[in-house]
């Protein structure tokens, strides 16, 4: 960002795609079931619809993102584990799905322990992404429901974090914890990472509780809360079973539209920053 400001703007634009580095976004919230994985996949696919080149990274040992593209994490032999721990080039574990997908496997559960004794343990993902970055416009990283070493690797490698929060069980305490982790990372490991936005998910217009949750979020986080709300619908549970994004499963439905609208908000925000 700092360097970009020093260059004449025309110079930046003259570069073909690829000469500029992609935006790396982590999806994080230490609470499970808030739609991190659903959002990673569907935002990735919504970007791809716009002609953007996207790499999705499954950094959760549960492998839900991998599964949601019809792959089986139990039978995958080489995964992000090998990339992080044995420095296998990430290209070798990228599967071509709706978007390019760096897969997880059950081994990844052992990565935190295996990494913990290595020098540079917080930067393993950042390093692994370096050689493939020029190929992509966006890298989206799905993280496990914890603030352990895998999530820290994602935050260190990212420019921004999108935080999905479930309107039903809003945990402000959880958000404060995540903010504390982020400021620790900014101080010690990656000064550039910031919250890109808070995304209300599982929004149910019929309940007062959902509307109150949004009010509380906006009171506490203001403009950081996306205007897009992801409504609660069973479609989200159906799509992954078919090994597809909601956008492919029901392309004209409201759920697909919601993620397209989120994609637009993220892209507009990125443009606004570029022209600032």
Binding residue for ligand ADP, selected from 28, 35, 165, 256, defined by CB under 6 A:
35
CB-side neighbour CA atoms (13 Å) of 168: 13
CA 101, chain centre distance (Å): 12
Residues of this chain, 71-130, that bind ligand ADP according to CB under 6 A? none
Any contact of residue 151 with Mg ion (CB under 5 A)?
no
Choice between 43 and 76, CB closer to ligand ADP? 43
CB of 13 to ligand ADP, least distance (A): 36
Any contact of residue 159 with ligand ADP (CB under 6 A)?
no
Report the first-to-last Cα separation within the chain, whole angstroms: 12
Stretch that binds Mg ion, among 35-43, 74-82, 121-129, 130-138 (CB under 5 A): 35-43
Q: Considering CB under 6 A, how many residues would be counted as binding ligand ADP?
A: 18
Among ligand ADP, Mg ion, none, the one that 78 touches (CB under a kind-dependent 5 to 8 A) is: none
Alpha helices by DSSP H, the chain: 2-6, 9-14, 36-49, 64-67, 80-86, 111-116, 124-129, 149-157, 172-188, 208-221, 235-241, 246-249, 254-275
Any contact of residue 201 with ligand ADP (CB under 6 A)?
yes
Q: Which residue is nearest to Mg ion (CB)?
A: 37
Any contact of residue 37 with ligand ADP (CB under 6 A)?
yes
- Distance in angstroms (rounded) separating the CA atoms of residues 222 and 230: 18
Alpha helices by DSSP H, 17-117: 36-49, 64-67, 80-86, 111-116
Choice between 35 and 193, CB closer to ligand ADP? 35
Output DSSP code: residue 223: G
Residue 187 corresponds to which tokens in the numbers above?
A: 């101080």
* Binding-site ranges for Mg ion (CB under 5 A): 36-37, 64
* Binding-site ranges for ligand ADP (CB under 6 A): 32-38, 64, 145, 201-202, 230-233, 236-237, 240
């Amino acid at each position: 960002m700092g360097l970009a400001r020093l260059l004449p703007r025309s110079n930046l634009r003259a570069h073909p795609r690829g000469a500029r580095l992609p935006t790396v976004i982590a999806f994080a919230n230490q609470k499970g079931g808030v739609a991190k994985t659903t959002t990673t996949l569907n935002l990735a696919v919504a970007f791809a619809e716009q002609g953007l080149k996207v790499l999705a990274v499954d950094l959760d040992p549960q492998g839900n993102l991998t599964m949601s593209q019809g792959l089986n994490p139990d039978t995958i032999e080489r995964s992000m584990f090998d990339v992080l721990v044995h420095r296998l080039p990430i290209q070798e574990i990228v599967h071509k799905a709706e978007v390019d997908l760096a897969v997880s496997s059950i081994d990844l559960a052992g990565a935190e322990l295996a990494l913990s004794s290595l020098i540079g343990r917080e930067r393993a993902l950042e390093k692994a992404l370096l050689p493939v970055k020029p190929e992509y416009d966006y890298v989206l990283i799905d993280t496990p429901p914890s603030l352990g070493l895998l999530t820290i690797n994602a935050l260190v490698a990212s420019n921004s974090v999108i935080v999905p929060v479930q309107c039903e069980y809003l945990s402000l305490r959880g958000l404060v914890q995540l903010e504390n982790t982020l400021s620790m990372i900014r101080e010690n490991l990656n000064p550039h990472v910031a919250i890109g936005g808070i995304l209300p998910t599982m929004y149910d217009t019929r309940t007062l509780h959902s509307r109150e949750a949004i009010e509380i979020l906006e009171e506490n986080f203001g403009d950081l809360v996306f205007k897009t709300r992801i409504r609660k619908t069973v479609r989200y549970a159906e799509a992954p079973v078919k090994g597809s994004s909601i956008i492919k499963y029901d392309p004209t439905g409201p759920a697909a539209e919601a993620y397209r609208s989120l994609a637009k908000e993220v892209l507009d925000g990125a443009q606004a920053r570029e022209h600032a």
